[in-house]
Amino acid sequence: MDNFIAARSQMAMSLAFHIIFATIGVSLPLMMTISEWRWRSTGDPAYLLLAKRWAKGTTILFAVGAVSGTVLSFELGLLWPRFMQYAGSVIGMPFSLEGFAFFTEAIFLGIYLYGWNRVPGWLHLASGIIVAVSGVLSAIFVTLVNGWMNTPAGFDIVAGKFENIHPLIAMLNPAGVPEAVHMVLAAYTAGGFATAGIHGWLLLRRGRNRFDEAAIGIALLVGGVAVILQSVSGDALARMVADKQPMKLASLEGQFHTEIGAPLRIGGIPFPDERETKYAIEIPHGLSLLGFHKYNALIKGLDQEPQADWPNVRIVHICFQIMVGCGSLLSLFALASSWISWKKRPLHTLFLKALVFVSPLGFVALEAGWMVTELGRQPWIIYRLMRTKDAVTSMPNVTLTLSVMTAVYVILGIVVVWLLSRHVIAAPETKQIEHPEVLV
């Protein structure tokens, strides 16, 4: 494997790993805080147990998220030193703010997790709220940086260097805000549905109980509301991409030819050499409508760009289809479950089975979505300004560090799953009696 591919793989692997933990770090604190608030206002002990359980899950996941996030902040330099050399000063602002948000999150998470018996109730609940809010802020700031890589703004290029930099304009770049909203909602969707699914599975296994029902209630509310809002956010993001990154839109839609009133393709496999996307269901004028909200809008195709500068159209298009497909399925499920809860029907076995089935789709969509945005930006690390291959490190043997990091992350992943299944998911009664000390 050459160094460039190894560096890209290492970055991709680190991001794909970290994003799972970062996402849970955003969504689980919200759910645990809601649960604690329900306990304080209703006195129902199921909510207290749930808050403690979720807090324990947060401890494990946040620790792994914190260290894998540290890895990323160093890897920006280790793998892409030239990118950091030129862009570091432009994107420093959101990263600095993220540093502070992360700080607040860690401090109040410490208070939340280990302060049950040490701080007054209101301060404990407030700590949970601060953790939830600062988690969201961290996610927003980091995504703003990714937005800048897609739609760089806030500077002039003078003699090949960034001059007249305005950090705030760079931070609030066109792609940044819609991407950040999309990411936060994705975090709630993925975290909410995965949690609801786990408790749905438990409910199926151990029969009706207050604990799992309360958990599903909160988790599905968070995930369901988020996924419904996600469709609005996705539309805003798609129109931004259509406007600012037409080639990216073309590759994620498999649009090879410039066309007026382009169709929306559902599914299909792009064949770049034949310049055609085959086997797709085409909805006439659909893409023009979605991209520009106009029936006959002009959609630029990949033919506007030399083929050497195309991203990997096939993977990008397929990942995009996976993301949209998962999102749509989850939206349908959210609508169905809101109807069920509105009618006050009891949770049917079939419903729970469906819930378990759809629960991982939030994470599938999240990973696929990041593949779309990262691979869709290629061959650029800063869109139309710096090529990824020009940013890569000169260090040899990146394959070695890639192999080591992959092995480490695989081991960590396995241990985390194992621990979660033992501590967060296991039946409450026995565990509580055996190890009261770890339940604090």
Partner 1 sequence: MNACVILAAIMLISLVIYSLLGGADYGAGFWDLVCSGPRKQGQRDLIAQAIQPVWEANHIWLILLVVLMFSGFPSAFSSMSVGLAVPIFLVLLGIVFRGSSYVFRAYFAGDVRTQLYWGKVFSISSSITPLFLGIVIGAISGDAVLVDDGRSENGFLSTWLRPFPLIVGLLALSLFAYLSACYLTVETDDSELQGDFRKRALFSGFISIMAAFATYLVAENSAQRILDGLSRSPDCLLIEVGAAIATLVAFHALCVRSYPRARIAAAAQVGLIVIGWGFAQYPYVVRPELTIFNGASPPNILVEVEIAIALGAVILVPSLILLLLIFKSRGTPSAQ
Binding residue for partner 1, selected from 2, 41, 43, 117, defined by CB under 8 A: 117
Binding residue for partner 1, selected from 2, 122, 159, 168, defined by CB under 8 A: 168
Q: Which stretch binds partner 1 (CB under 8 A): 38-46, 260-268, 360-368, 411-419?
A: 411-419
Q: Is 394 in the site for partner 1 (CB under 8 A)?
A: yes
Q: Is 231 in the site for partner 1 (CB under 8 A)?
A: no
How many residues make contact with partner 1 (CB under 8 A)?
73
Least Å from the CB of residue 337 to partner 1: 32
Q: Is 344 in the site for partner 1 (CB under 8 A)?
A: no
Nearer to partner 1, 87 or 326 (CB): 87
Chain center to CA of 250: 23
Q: Three-state DSSP class for 279? A: coil
Q: Rounded to whole angstroms, how far apart are CA atoms 82 and 389?
A: 10
Q: Rounded to whole angstroms, how far apart are CA atoms 2 and 209?
A: 55
Least Å from the CB of residue 200 to partner 1: 24
Binding residue for partner 1, selected from 62, 211, 363, 383, defined by CB under 8 A: 62
Q: Is 9 in the site for partner 1 (CB under 8 A)?
A: no
Six-digit token pair at 380?
């650029």
Q: Is 425 in the site for partner 1 (CB under 8 A)?
A: no
Binding residue for partner 1, selected from 395, 410, 414, 417, defined by CB under 8 A: 395
Least Å from the CB of residue 402 to partner 1: 11
**Would you state the torsion angle of the CA atoms of residues 230, 232, 170, 7, taken in this order, to the nearest 10 degrees?**
40
Least Å from the CB of residue 78 to partner 1: 5
Six-digit token pair at 253?
């839609």
| Cβ within 8 Å of residue 53, ≥6 positions away | 424, 428
Q: Is 415 in the site for partner 1 (CB under 8 A)?
A: yes
Nearer to partner 1, 99 or 284 (CB): 99
Binding residue for partner 1, selected from 25, 69, 147, 362, defined by CB under 8 A: 69
Binding residue for partner 1, selected from 12, 13, 48, 119, defined by CB under 8 A: 119
Q: Cis omega before residue 379 (within 30°)?
A: yes
Q: Is 388 in the site for partner 1 (CB under 8 A)?
A: no
Least Å from the CB of residue 309 to partner 1: 23
Nearer to partner 1, 13 or 107 (CB): 107
Least Å from the CB of residue 128 to partner 1: 14
Range 122-141, binding partner 1 (CB under 8 A): none
Q: Which stretch binds partner 1 (CB under 8 A): 67-75, 179-187, 249-257, 287-295?
A: 67-75
Q: Is 13 in the site for partner 1 (CB under 8 A)?
A: no
Q: Is 19 in the site for partner 1 (CB under 8 A)?
A: no
**Buried b / exposed e along 113-136 (16+ C-beta atoms within 10 A):** beebeeeeeeebbbbbbbbbbbbb
Helix (H) / strand (E) containing 272? none
Range 76-115, binding partner 1 (CB under 8 A): 76-78, 81-82, 84-93, 95-100, 102-104, 106-111, 113-115
Q: Is 157 in the site for partner 1 (CB under 8 A)?
A: no
Q: Rounded to whole angstroms, how far apart are CA atoms 71 and 73?
A: 6
Sign, CA torsion 18/108/105/25: positive
Q: Is 387 in the site for partner 1 (CB under 8 A)?
A: no
Nearer to partner 1, 143 or 233 (CB): 143
Least Å from the CB of residue 136 to partner 1: 15
Residue 357's CB is within 10 A of a number of other CB atoms, namely: 13
Six-digit token pair at 360?
């991982």
Q: Is 315 in the site for partner 1 (CB under 8 A)?
A: no
In angstroms, the Cα distances linking 235 to 179, 231, 321 are 11, 6, 15
Beta bridge partners of residue 68, listed in sequence order? none
Least Å from the CB of residue 404 to partner 1: 7
Binding residue for partner 1, selected from 66, 144, 250, 366, defined by CB under 8 A: 66
Six-digit token pair at 133?
């809010």
Residue 179: what are its φ and ψ, rounded to 5°? -65, -40
In angstroms, the Cα distances linking 347 to 50, 225, 282, 412 are 19, 19, 38, 35
Residue 397's CB is within 10 A of a number of other CB atoms, namely: 10
Nearer to partner 1, 319 or 402 (CB): 402
Asked if residue 180 lies in contact with residue 147, where contact means CB atoms within 8 angstroms, the answer is yes
| Cβ within 8 Å of residue 284, ≥6 positions away | 261, 263
Six-digit token pair at 319?
């990942």
Range 252-311, binding partner 1 (CB under 8 A): none
Helix (H) / strand (E) containing 394? none
